[in-house]
Amino acid sequence: MKVQILSEKFVKPSIPTPPSLRNYKISFADELAPTINVPLILYYTASNNGNTPTASLVTDSNQLEKSLEHILTLFYPLAGRYIKQSRLIDCKDQGVEYVVAKVNVQLHDLLGQGVEAKELNQLIPCEISAADEVSDPLLAIQVNIFECGGLAVGGCFSHRIADGSTVASFFCEWATVNKAKSTDGICPSFDAASFFPGRGLDKLIPMSLPRSLKDAEFKSATKMFAFNKNAISTLRAMYNGSRASSLQLVNAILWKALIGVDRAKHGRSRASFLIQPVNLRGRTNPPLPRQTFGNLWGLATTQVEAVDNMAFQDFVDLLGGSIMKYVKDCGDILSNGEDGYKVVIDPFMESNKVISDSEVNFCFFTSWCKFPFYEADFGLGKPIWASVVNMRLKNIVILTDDKKGEGIEAWVNIW
């Protein structure tokens, strides 16, 4: 696959951000986020019920670019730049990187389980780890036009100010503006720092990566495993229980498999430590608004020392138990002062210590299931697929819904 860049520019909000919003303070939850970009690609067929081919929206009317300008007036921090020393976003409308590219293959050749994840990296406009410098856009968009007229919209969101929920919200709201030509009813909330005031935690968690991960020492593989409705039913039969969610079952079989890979690699069993991000929106007391912008997630942690005699059911129970406990603890985060904040902070600190322990197999499983990626209709119909890319990170698993909403697609990154 060859991707040819047709144009590159910076897109700014259609209405300048007022001076009163110039300095956007990040929360301590934002400070805890890793120095990476969060990637997402949405794919659209060439036409929908006889409507205009998607390519014309880019090459003729530039409608996507214009609607991006309008949505940025509401999501204004994304057009700014991160200032590390001050831990704030300078919202001077420096702009979102906007790239239009031509791809020399048919869209259907790229879809599905057989795709090479590293090929998909060509459909996003920046390196995963090129983040947090003052010159780095907080959002970069690449619109890819295929030979058939199909289109893929790839985005890279700085994790410094965006989590999976924020990414999904932005794409859906941008699509709404592009389709309805109006921003009415769109009202993201930017109050995260008032709930979680910044405290310089980024100094305590130096989790950063080389800006380019293309070097040989960072070779990795990303495989997508599809668990359809029938496969999940099979896992449920293995578990002999009805209470476990589909996500718990898939996480358990993948964790068990990664432990097996680690055992084969090292010639012995090692302790394994797994973290699962938990969306805090709607789980605190009082509840955080679901439209709150930024990073609003905590970590449910699970560690096992003796893994040799563990059955599939044991992994399911452990993972489900850690999630249930953390969700219960979330209720006290906003109402219990400093002890409440520790519910968010302490698992990050623990994870930061474990990740550097050469005797522990560290795994990170993040679920984007139930995020409404497949609702992002730009006027072209709903996406026919949503994907990530090769993250080039060890033992990171990203789980998404399949298009039907009945199965789960697991993007597994290993070295």
At residue 38, φ and ψ (nearest 5 deg) are: -90, 120
Specify the 3-state DSSP secondary structure of 326.
Answer: helix
Q: How far apart are CA 300 and CA 399, in angstroms?
A: 16
Spell out the residues 6+ positions from residue 302 whose beta carbon is closer than 8 angstroms to its own.
Answer: 273, 274, 275, 276, 318, 319, 322
Q: How far apart are CA 87 and CA 104, in angstroms?
A: 42
For the chain, the first-to-last Cα distance in angstroms comes to: 24
State the alpha helices, DSSP H only, in 268-332: 312-330
The answer to whether the CB of 132 falls within 8 A of the CB of 36 is no
Q: For residue 125, say if its preceding peptide bond is cis, omega within 30 degrees of 0.
A: no
Q: How far apart are CA 187 and CA 166, in angstroms?
A: 13
Residue of 159, 163, 202, 401 marked active site: 159
CA 12 to chain centre: 23
- Burial of 161-183, coded b for 16+ CB within 10 Å and e otherwise, reads bbbbbbbbbbbbbbbbbbeeeeb
Residue of 109, 314, 332, 377 marked active site: 377
- Per-residue tokens: 274: 């797994």
Instruction: Provide the residue type at 60 as one letter.
Output: D
CA angle 98, 103, 106 (to 5 degrees): 135
314 flagged as catalytic: no
CA atoms within 13 A on the CB side of 267: 0
Quickly count: other Cβ atoms within 10 Å of residue 328's Cβ.
Answer: 10
159 flagged as catalytic: yes
Specify the 3-state DSSP secondary structure of 112.
Answer: coil
- Per-residue tokens: 77: 């921090």
DSSP state of 158: E
Catalytic residues: 159, 377
